[in-house]
Structure 1
Amino acid sequence: MLWNTNHINVRISEANSQMILVTISKQNYPEWMLAAVYASPNPRTRDELWDSLETIAQNNQLPWLLVGDFNDHASLKEKRSFSTNQNLSHSLSCSRKFVNHINSCNFIDLGCTGPSLTWSNNRQGWAKTLIRLDQALCNAEWRTRFPKGFVRNFPRTYSDHSPMLVCTQDNRETEEMIQKRRYRKGK
């Protein structure tokens, strides 16, 4: 997490191997929470994260945004694999469980522009798998406070994950910055 201390104050509320939870404040603006998430690939350990998130959601009144790698996907549309070793019933069961966690916390998926499948196993041909593991979720209070907030995913370059930019407001400066970077890389 990076921030400009001249513009905002960030207080860490909780930090563990799967999440950093902070409260963000700025002069003359109400506070809100941000959770940077790296959910464990181990389903049992990931369940511990969701237990913690559900507890926080039940006791929280602040606008809240969660961003990161949830190591899970919400539907079969969020996974593209040509492997014949796929267990569809297991994949459906995992997707349902993930959606149930999201719903139990009353989170809203912010969606995205750019590549929607954010992770690749970096294999070629029939062995290639793409999944939407990275996303931004928020509560209704955050969405109300930042109605023009959006998520922009960029193409994968050096990592197996797509870089993600989350903006709290829709402004021309952000889009111009994105266009300039894209133009420079195209040269």
Structure 2
Amino acid sequence: MEYVGSVGLSGGLMCIWDPVLFEAISVVKNTNFLVVVGKLKGSGLLLNIGNVYAPQLVRAKKDLWDEIASIMEDHPSMWVVGGDFKAVREPSERRNSGFKNACASNFNSFIFNSGLLEYDMKGSRFTCIRGNGKKLSKINRFLVCSDFFNRWPDATFRALPASYSDHGPILLVSQMRNFGAKPFRVFNSCLEKEGYNEAVEKSLEGFNVSGPPDYVLLQKFATIRKGLKVWRDEMKKKEGESSSRALEELEELEKIMESRDLTEEEEWSFLENKKNY
């Protein structure tokens, strides 16, 4: 793990990785970025990961782009740069907030000159919601080099709902894999919940399967799993009805924001659901 401390209540960056998959070689730090230079285990491919928290001023952002570009030149291998760039690339990436042509031009020049590419963003058009839901922008993103893009052309970049903050989390998944059916698992926390033992016993009522012992055991696990899924859904419904409703309404309102301003009633609902979720 590596981090850059915050300045008061602003900034702060952190990079965490799995040492089984990634080996860090060196780190480059600045108030506004954190770069981890390393390689992927197994393949030995060199990969640099940059985490960005851009400043507000246009000139300061331009200086940051120049500094990152210089670091990229010093480490000519695969690059992934992500974070809060506080810049958009075109007017359509903002709603009800000012578009600064100079800032966008500087940002686009940095992307082009550095040979960076961007995956289409799924899930939402915007990543930041402010002004009680009135101001929206796409200022959080991932940028990758052409080598990374060509190796993982089917990677997915997704914007998740902004449920806990004015910024929604963003997620880059390099490869989707299907590992088959999920294994049967029991967590210790489940054992303490009301009705768990009864759900297991009820699921096995009338169970009558013959055959080799391993086949019978497999079918018994499958039967218990079906019973526990019903029990789990009922427990979730009891424990999280209010939270689930708040999340659903938040997501619906975020979709509405992408096409029009919220009414006063919808704005009140947006703020109340933020509190309750």
| Same fold, judged at TM 0.5 (above) | yes
Asked whether the 8 Å contact 1:19–1:36 carries over to 2, the reply is yes
**Aligned residue type for 1:167:** V
State the structure with more CA Rg.
Answer: 2
The Cα of 1:186 is off from its aligned counterpart by 4.1
Alignment of 1:8-157 (within 5 A): 8-29=22-43, 30-81=45-96, 86=98, 91-124=100-133, 128-157=134-163
Deviation at 1:133, TM superposition (A): 0.3
Alpha carbons of structure 1 residues 45 and 12: separation in structure 2 relative to 1, 3 Å? farther
Q: 2:80·2:145 contact (CA, 8 Å) conserved in 1? A: yes
TM superposition shift of 1:97: 2.2
Correspondence 1:170 to 2:173 = no
Structure 2: stretches of 5+ with no match in the other structure: 1-14, 183-239, 246-277
Superposition RMSD on alpha carbons, in Å? Answer: 2.3
Q: Is the 8 A contact 1:111 1:136 kept in 2?
A: no
Gaps of 5+ in 1: 177-183
Q: CA separation in 2, counterparts of 1:74 and 1:120?
A: 17
Q: Which has the higher helix share?
A: 2
Aligned length: 169
Cα distance in structure 1, aligned partners of 2:172 and 2:156: 6
Higher relative contact order (CA 8 A, sep 6+): 1
Given that 1:78 and 1:132 are in contact with CA atoms closer than 8 Å, whether structure 2 keeps it comes out as: yes
* C-alpha contact (below 8 Å) 1:12/1:20 kept by paired residues: no
Contact 1:122/1:160, CA 8 A, preserved across alignment = no
Residue 160 of structure 1: which of 158, 166, 176 is its match? 166
Aligned to 1:180: none
